[in-house]
Structure 1
Amino acid sequence: MTRVSATEQAAVVTRLRSAGCVWAEEEAALLVEAAADAQALAALVDRRVTGEPLEYLLGWAEFCGERIGVDSGVFVPRARTALLVEAATAVTGPGARVVELCCGSGALTRALARRLVVPRLLAAVDLDPAAVACARRNLAGLAVPVFVGDLFDPLPAAWRGGLDLVMANAPYVPTAELIMLPAEARQYEAPVALDGGSDGLAVLRRVAVAAAHWLAPGGHLVVEVGAGQVDALRAVLTEVGLVAAVVHDEETGATAMTARRPTDVAGRRHEN
């Protein structure tokens, strides 16, 4: 942390505010904390006023009360995604076997691990090698394996049909709407973490179809989705034999869906 005078810090705040940073005072304090000296601080401020995400400059993002390491280009965990942690905790019992898909930095797994009662298995997967490297660092202390690959593909075949929870903050922004995202996300985060295809559900459909085979009877899928996509995704989940429910957080505007694999005969018809 570099030492700056009140006048110097005020100048940083002014630059940030002029660049459109809404929380200029808070950002200035964080940048001062992160900088080793005045030269490093000036460089960080220069990068911030050009629009680079604050989290990349700090090297971390706050999520569920923790500082999660975030590398440049890796999806930055959003505050609204805490709803997934709450929803997953609510449907997961002791000794659960849990896999996070599209894990990015591994923020969901790290937050959920603190809330589960003695999980039997925790693992994470992402298609982006940069995200996998980031998640491996964040989850190293939990001894959580992080696989690189497409959704369930890299997981051991023996896990098929035995998972109690699959959670995913998969990309769900329709391709045509990417241009409406904040510039910080649009210009700096990997497109693969944002682009959900023509209707935003391209990846979530694949997750749902495969989850019907990878979940154990009674197991749950938990995903984030846009509020306007609920009916379409519910139809997909129902078609593959999962029983869907919606969870919404009015404060953050977040929407999550949970989907349970039934334990009755009707649910088991989808195993093959």
Structure 2
Amino acid sequence: MAPIPFHPDRPALVARLRAAGCVYAEDEAELLIAAAGAPRALAVLTDRRVAGEPLEHLLGWAEFCGRRIAVDPGVFVPRARTALLVEAAVSVAGPTPALVDLCCGSGAISVALADRLAPRWLAAVDVDPAAVACARRNLAGRDVAVFEGDLYDPLPRTWRGRLDVVVANAPYVPTPAVALMPVEARLHEAPVALDGGVDGLAVLRRVAAGAVDWLVPGGHLVVEVSAGQADALCAALAGLGLVPSVRHAPEWDATGVVARRPD
């Protein structure tokens, strides 16, 4: 039997998405149509999107660094700006590096690093079981271990002081600002992936403190932060004996900090 023709009303769909605040309504409409394949399924997906569910959770994937990354409901959606961390990590990694991706979420950064480098060790870590399961699915077939636990805690003790790069897209939204985030993040992503404490830097300070012990001399810590937090984070890193520098990527509206452990 031939499939029933599917001819959605694109202008109406775009108008509804735009009225709900979807900035890229035309693009989202095409993605929803492709994912649905039938009128009833499209209606359900559209209702959910208008209600505030992340597009990526509805599709089951997000694009990151040219790759399609699986994203399960409740898991932090990789943002385009986090490509800055990938570029920064690659720039300082050297040949056959040992790397760890903390607060890995879906594992998007590890996927990109595994494809662009030839690491002797690469591991991803997250405290959220749903994120760990998602990361393991995305990293299946690659030689990347995915650990569940708090920051450095689940890593093999033999790696201490031997890592060339620690990269972390840790939460950096100040606690009072979490309630002001868009509903798609605030209600549909794990709070542990968003809330960075009173000033947004609580988790990043812990990441930095651990990096002092886990990095090899000359190794680098690479983290994402807001532009307004960069100076305070650099001061904290310098206080730990690390040598920080700020990187900006206007094309992604991204800010990162790269900190070197002195030789």
TM-score (norm 1): 0.92
Map Cα deviations across residues 34-67 of structure 1 (whole Å, 9 max, x no partner). 1143221211111111111100000001111111
Matched residue type, 1:99:
V
Contact kept, 8 Å, 1:126 with 1:147, in 2: the verdict is: yes
Other structure's SS at 1:141 match:
coil
Map Cα deviations across residues 141-160 of structure 1 (whole Å, 9 max, x no partner). 21311000000000010000
Matched residue type, 2:192:
V
Aligned to 1:4: 6
Aligned to 2:180: 180
For structure 1, list consecutive stretches of 5 or more residues without a partner in the other structure: 264-272
Change (3 A) 1:42 1:97: same
Q: Distance in 1 between matches of 2:9 and 2:226?
A: 42
Aligned to 1:170: 170
Q: Distance in 1 between matches of 2:127 and 2:54?
A: 22
Aligned to 1:196: 196
Q: Does 1:160 align with 2:167?
A: no
Q: After TM superposition, list the pairs within 5 Å mapping 1:84-163 onto structure 2.
A: 84-116=85-117, 118-163=118-163
Contact kept, 8 Å, 2:244 with 2:257, in 1: the verdict is: yes
Q: Distance in 1 between matches of 2:126 and 2:5?
A: 39
Contact kept, 8 Å, 1:126 with 1:132, in 2: the verdict is: yes
Matched residue type, 1:4:
F
- CA RMSD, 1 decimal: 1.5
Q: Distance in 2 between matches of 1:180 and 1:68?
A: 27
Contact kept, 8 Å, 2:6 with 2:37, in 1: the verdict is: no
Aligned to 2:46: 45
Other structure's SS at 2:172 match:
coil
Other structure's SS at 1:230 match:
helix
Change (3 A) 1:150 1:83: same
Q: Distance in 1 between matches of 2:65 and 2:4?
A: 27
Give the CA deviation at 1:112. 1.6
Q: Does 1:25 align with 2:60?
A: no
Segment drifting more, 154-163 vs 7-16:
7-16
Aligned to 1:258: 258
Contact kept, 8 Å, 2:171 with 2:203, in 1: the verdict is: yes
Change (3 A) 1:49 1:207: same
Contact kept, 8 Å, 1:55 with 1:70, in 2: the verdict is: yes
Matched residue type, 1:230:
A
Aligned to 1:227: 227
Change (3 A) 1:53 1:86: same
Other structure's SS at 1:142 match:
coil
Q: Percent identity?
A: 67
Other structure's SS at 2:9 match:
helix
Matched residue type, 2:155:
L
Matched residue type, 2:230:
V
Aligned to 1:56: 57
Contact kept, 8 Å, 2:225 with 2:256, in 1: the verdict is: yes
Q: Distance in 2 between matches of 1:124 and 1:131?
A: 11
Contact kept, 8 Å, 1:87 with 1:222, in 2: the verdict is: yes
Other structure's SS at 1:150 match:
coil
Aligned to 2:68: 67
Change (3 A) 1:67 1:3: farther
Q: What is the number of residues matched between the two proteins?
A: 261
Matched residue type, 1:217:
P
TM-score (norm 2): 0.95
